[in-house]
Structure formats: structure tokens, C-alpha cells
Amino acid sequence: MINKTLKMGVVALIAATGAFSVAQAEGFKAENPQCIAPSNPGGGWDFICRTTAKYLFDLGVIEDAMQVQNMSGGGGGVAFAHVTKERNEDNNLIVAASMSTSARIAQGIYEDAEQDDVHFLATFGAEYGAIAVGKDSKYETLTQMMDDIVADPKSVGIAGGSSVGSYDHIKPMLVAQKAGLEDVTQLKYVSFSGGGEAMTGLLSGSVEALSGDFSEMLGFLESGDIRIIAILAPERLKNFPDIPTAKEQGYDVVGANWRGLYMPAGATDEAKEFWKNAIMTMVADPGFQETLEAAAIAPFNNFGDDMYNFVAGSIADVTKLSKEIGIIQ
């Protein structure tokens, strides 16, 4: 244990010094850096900014404390427009992003936004979607539920933590499509404001099932208040081998939500390089990895060209899916 910590510490140290030498060689140093969380305090994006701000400062990657600015609005659209229109050349700005960011770009919810309007910097984590039912539910497997849904889509209410058409809604629609439901828009999706509220909907018996991210369900799974009947992952999770995937029950659907950051497209190459290295340093830190693990977020790292291709692929996927199930033209 000690040995492992030590080893990881050394890795982090090397990474940290690496970041410094690169940064110094190219003469860019962050001054009064800022992280914009495109939402109110609390919630996923805010978590990204505050965690990043804490670790970058603690690790000495940045000398000034990073200010977190909350800029809510338009599901992240206000912050996106602010960055592209007003601060396109700011070298000291990073912005929290996730699957919702690429999904909303794909569905055209951000006015005329494209991937190249900003510079997608990195992802550092991801988690899979899951479908849960209450502990006393009659549904033991996803198959039983899907049979009922195909027979009568209105018979099963599914709660989710964001609006109709969001990724939480798309995931069960995809499963239902694989199950053979013709008009997946018939699915009874009940939109709640946030994963926590959706969970109360399930616990109070207002709805039969819940679609959300795995991390949000973890505590309730362990306490025995809910059962997870399917995880939307390619294979079973290492730490939770009892939870079946949707794929093995015959519905080949994978739903992953990534967490990461973007920065203004007009920033200098030195700045982009600096921030890439900064995130790399953070990802190498064992403390940071523990924070992710506690939040049930799996490591998922993309940088540089990988990141560009990943986001492009993510946007293309959502576009394709949304067209398939007929929610965008």
C-alpha cells in the first residue's frame, strides 16, 4: 500500500516537473486563471471546476488560486457564447464540459455552435448510464421491463434528471428501440430537475424506473433501496460484477458520460499546451484519482488530437442517434 502510494507519488512528481519544464520552456505562465462552470454552484460542471481548481493549485501547477465563476444559462449555452464571442483569446480560461456539452452541440441547442468554436482540452473521467428500479419492483431484469414497454409504452414511467430529449431520455429510448418498440417517443419519460430529485421520484413510487448516471445511484444501491437492472457499459464493472449489462440481456446499448474541459479556440498554442500539461499532471495525482473514485467516475483520459477526435466522434454519435430515433431532422 505504502509502496503503491509512493510509486504514484513519484509518477505525479515527474509529471509535475515535466509540466513545469514545458511551461517554462515555452514561456507561458498562468496568471489569475479562471474556470467557468456553466451552471449554478452544485452539480457536475461545478464539481469539475472546483476539483480542478483545487488540485491544480495544490499541486503547484498554477501559482495564483484559480477562480471558479458560475455562469449558468441555456444548458451551458450562455457560457459557450461568452467564451466564443467575448473571450476567444483568453489564455487563462478553462471551462467545464461533459457529454451534455457535445450532445447539445449535436442537437443544435447552442445557437449555431460547432466543435471548432472552442478548443476541447481534455477528458479525465467517464461513467456509464444505468437503469434502476425500486427494491420492491416486479421487474427483475431489463427484459421483463422491455416486454411490458413494448406491449404498452405508457405502462412504465421512467424518471430522469434532465429534460425531455436529453441524454438520460435518449438512453432508455435506445434500449426500447432495440427491444422492438416502433415509436420510441411514446416512452413515458418523466423529467425531474437533477438526478437526486429523479431518485426521490423512484423511491416515492411515482415512477417505476430511473435512467441516470451510475454514480448517482451508488449510495441507494448499497443501502438496498433500489436495484440496478442494467448498466449501459460494454462489459460488467470490475467493482460491481453482479450488475448485468444491457448488452448481455440482448440490448446492445452503451451510454457513457464523459467529464472534461474546453478553452477558448483563439488562445495561443503555448497556453493550450500549458493547460494540456496541467490537466495531465492533475490526472497523474493519486489524490485526484481518489476523488474520482469516490464519485464513482472511472478514469477516462483524452488529450490533444485524441481529444479532438473523441469529441468529434461523440458529436457524430449523438447526431446519428437523435436522427435515428427521430428527435432531430
Which residues contact another protein by CB under 8 A? 34, 40-43, 46-47, 50-51, 53-54, 57, 65, 67-75, 77-78, 81, 109, 111, 154, 157, 163-166, 185, 188-194, 196-197, 199-201, 203-207, 216, 218-220, 222-223, 225, 290-291, 294-295, 326-328
| Residue among 248 and 293 whose Cβ is closer to another protein | 293
- Beta bridge mates, 69: 36
Q: Which is nearer to another protein, 295 or 312 (CB)?
A: 295
User: Residue 240 Cβ, how far from another protein at the closest point, in Å?
Assistant: 15
* Smallest distance, another protein to C-beta of residue 80, A: 9
The nearest distance, CB 68 to another protein, in angstroms, is 7
Specify whether the CB–CB gap between 273 and 297 falls below 8 A.
no
Q: CB-hemisphere CA count at 13 Å for 298? A: 15
Residue (193 or 309) nearer to another protein, CB: 193
Shortest Å, Cβ 184 to another protein: 10
- Give the shortest CB-103-to-another protein separation in angstroms: 12
Residue 273 CB, nearest approach to another protein (Å): 26
Least distance to another protein from the beta carbon of 147, Å?
20
Nearer to another protein, 220 or 303 (CB): 220
Q: Give the nearer residue to another protein in terms of CB position, either 183 or 306.
A: 183
- DSSP string of 57-95? HHTTS-SSPPEEEE---GGGHHHHHHHHHH-TT-TTEEE
The nearest distance, CB 111 to another protein, in angstroms, is 7
Q: What are phi and psi of 314, to 5 degrees?
A: -60, -45
Contact 158, 188 (CB under 8 A): yes
Spatial separation of the C-alpha atoms in residues 318 and 103, rounded to whole Å: 6
To another protein, the closest distance from the beta carbon of 196 in angstroms equals 4
Are 124 and 300 in contact, with CB atoms under 8 Å apart? Answer: yes
Q: Which is nearer to another protein, 29 or 54 (CB)?
A: 54
Number of CB atoms found within 10 A of residue 227's CB: 17
CB-nearer residue toward another protein: 114 or 197:
197
Nearer of residues 95 and 307 to another protein, judged by Cβ: 95
E strands, the chain, are: 34-37, 67-70, 93-98, 118-134, 157-160, 188-191, 209-213, 226-231, 256-264, 298-303
Neighbouring C-alpha atoms within 13 Å toward the C-beta of 125: 26
- Nearby residues of 10 by Cβ (< 8 Å), 6 or more positions away: none
Q: Grid coordinates 513545469 are at which residue?
A: 20
Position of cell 430529485? 197
Nearer to another protein, 55 or 310 (CB): 55
Q: Hey, what's the torsion of the CAs at 192, 195, 196, 197, to 10 degrees?
A: 10
